[in-house]
Structure 1
């Protein structure tokens, strides 16, 4: 064989190998650069939420009632529970909105230190007026409960529309000395002491029992039936109100935003997912347990309780939406947080998060809010019972 031909052949092979290696290095470098650039873009898009004095997050499930039911049942290890259908309905229709804002109206969130307290506000609704709302402003807690909405949406409240109307109408008959109770019954903002939540639950329970009392025209039979069926303990509707208020008092919404920002900045990897509907889309891969720990603070009011210790030690994915350099949306499947199912894939429950700069719920203290004491509610019950024989 001609030695020169062999040399030229080997040279071509070597040259091709060098070119292939160079091409592979270029592709790898390009991919790494793109990932780095995308990661910086996401980091800046999250930080941009802090460029204004307030930020808002809206959370809801994009699921049918059946899909929500399947998810909740799997999350409870297959245990259905008597109120699971109602909770599934609430989860599939509920919308949680919360906002954080600086106490100085013109100070950007990013300019505040971690030690500085934020004003926070949250509201839970089901497509209409807010059912429950709460605010924590300058270390004062304010709540607002719409009794008619509670009666309409919460079957577990055992409070029909007629009795809710009577409770609201009771406000017109209360004396001026019970002004705070009048406001509370009318669904206005009142200031409460978070340390008195247990007493508020007990007072609300007595109000509910009084509202359940049968009218004289309903006859003795109704009274006998109620004697056989004692009223249950404090129900879900007030538990949600107090849970929401307790969460705000503990600044959990700030912790949620801080935790989400930390997870995206320190633990997530990113890949571009194209542009559509006027927004850039990025797929984020995050550690499941850390993400569950952050999200659990925001999802409790929707009826989703995530226990990070039971979440598979795997990564989950989410799709981020970025508009004009700011993070405006995130969609993830909560089914990724469930442990493996015995005979099937974990049920899906898409969750949508909408982020915005500004206060969809004002984080300022409500004007004219009076201080409500648990005994004010009890006095209202007594006054209503003495005046009419029923509520």
Structure 2
């Protein structure tokens, strides 16, 4: 990711009124819609960002540790940092990897379409505050934003700014990318085709269908899906709980602290040469011991965020795993970890590499400012739009 201009500070805005206002931003971005693959990749990306940002905070004992700590500190001098995450593997290998996980009880069944999406998907995350990230205290929350794209065409985005949560969607593009295999997405895409005929009283629903930013309550995810004929149930609740963690300063810093302690206790850093103009440093740590430490540290969050759970930590392999950091110009610029390390071999008996690659850069790839003019959207607004469309289509 190229170096980005210094981002302006994100404004802090209280929850906006539900009175409709004129919207001024528009795009083809969209919320992830609860899709399991996207949500899982986002969680992995955020966790590895924290790992990269905290792995070297203990006093350096080697030259590699000292350089990495300095590289992370330099990235933390910015008020916003962007991270691009992608899985660098063919769809067939991703599908075999996820199918193997499912057979071991480590994830849901995943279709060939899901694997193809993961092979083409890139997610851009932004973490921002009103001061340099390295200066944040235990009570300072971090604003976040993310956008998902397939082949450089953005289809999904969210922003968590202060206590407010915003989403926007290009439903037609989402339906195309998912092969029209998701009932909720397909129905929303159908509604979007006639959204411009909705009356002014349904302006919030029209904005949502036409790809404008809207503000909503993430606890209502399942109700929104039901309004257009879909149902996510527990998956929607897990997504809502994940957003709750994003918006909680206490939860953010407990996660950061847990990862920092686990890596301070177990991580070993060693130089591994240069490649593509960047210095490479290898991070090695025992997965099982690290997972046990994380589970103990994160236990207080499990009751509050019921539905997410940390049982996946219990399945960490009893082996050492590695990740490679890239330092460019004295700044942390990348991290690569082979996801296959966490589960072992494929059905064919040969170890397949499933590299998750993160690219770091100072600045904002996605604005973390609250979008101007975003209307408040209730599930009832979407239900009214659905009924309006059905009544209109039934007229002679």
Q: TM-score surpassing 0.5?
A: yes
Contact kept in structure 1, 2:222 and 2:237, CA below 8 Å: no
The yes-or-no answer on 1:99 pairing with 2:129 is no
The superposition leaves residues 348-372 of structure 1 with CA deviations (integer Å, 9 ceiling, x where unpaired) of 2111011111111111101111100
Q: Give distance in 1, aligned partners of 2:221 and 2:342.
A: 31
2:65 to 11, 20, 39: 39
Aligned residue number for residue 48 of structure 2: none
* Kept in 2: contact 1:174–1:182 (CA 8 A): yes
- In structure 1, what is the equivalent of residue 204 of structure 2? 180
Q: Distance in 2 between matches of 1:256 and 1:131?
A: 29
1:277 aligns with 2:276: yes
**SS of equivalent to 2:81:** strand
Which of 329, 338, 361 is residue 356 of structure 1 equivalent to?
Answer: 361
Any stretches of 5+ residues in structure 2 without a counterpart?
1-59, 296-309
Hey, what does 1:144 align to over in structure 2?
168
Number of residue pairs aligned between Structure 1 and Structure 2? 317
Give me the whole-angstrom Cα distance separating, in 2, the residues matched to 1:239 and 1:144: 19
Equivalent in the alignment of 2:97: 71
Match of 1:86 in 2: 113
Matches within 5 A, 1:1-391: 36-77=62-103, 83-102=110-129, 104=130, 107-155=131-179, 156-158=181-183, 166-204=190-228, 206=229, 233-234=231-232, 245=243, 248-249=246-247, 265-289=264-288, 290=290, 307-339=312-344, 344-389=349-394
Q: Distance in 1 between matches of 2:170 and 2:115?
A: 21
Check 1:56–1:98 CA distance in 2 against 1; reply closer, same or farther (3 A cut): same
Alpha-carbon distance in 2 for matches of 1:352, 1:118? 23
Contact in 1 for aligned 2:192/2:210 (Cα 8 Å): yes
The answer to whether the 8 Å contact 1:100/1:253 transfers is no
Q: In 2, distance between residues paired with 1:339 and 1:291?
A: 17
Post-superposition, which runs of at least 4 consecutive aligned residues in structure 1 deviate over 3 A?
78-83, 158-161, 163-166, 233-266, 289-294, 339-343
Tell me: CA distance 1:78–1:69, structure 2 relative to 1, closer, same or farther (3 Å): farther
2:138–2:253 CA contact under 8 A, matched in 1: no
Instruction: Please give the alpha-carbon distance, in whole angstroms, between the structure 1 residues aligned to 2:383 and 2:314.
Output: 41
Larger radius of gyration: 1
TM-score of the pair, normalised by structure 1: 0.71
Shift of 1:196: 1.9
Q: Deviations over 1:321-373 (max 9, x none)?
A: 00121111011110110156787244321110111111111111011111000
Could you state the TM-score of these two structures normalised by the residue count of structure 2? 0.70
Moved more, 171-180 or 41-50: 41-50
Question: Larger relative contact order (C-alpha < 8 A, sep ≥ 6)?
Answer: 2
SS at the partner of 1:331? strand
The whole-number CA distance in structure 2 between the counterparts of 1:185 and 1:351 is: 32
The answer to which structure has the higher helix fraction is 1
Moved more, 246-255 or 87-96: 246-255
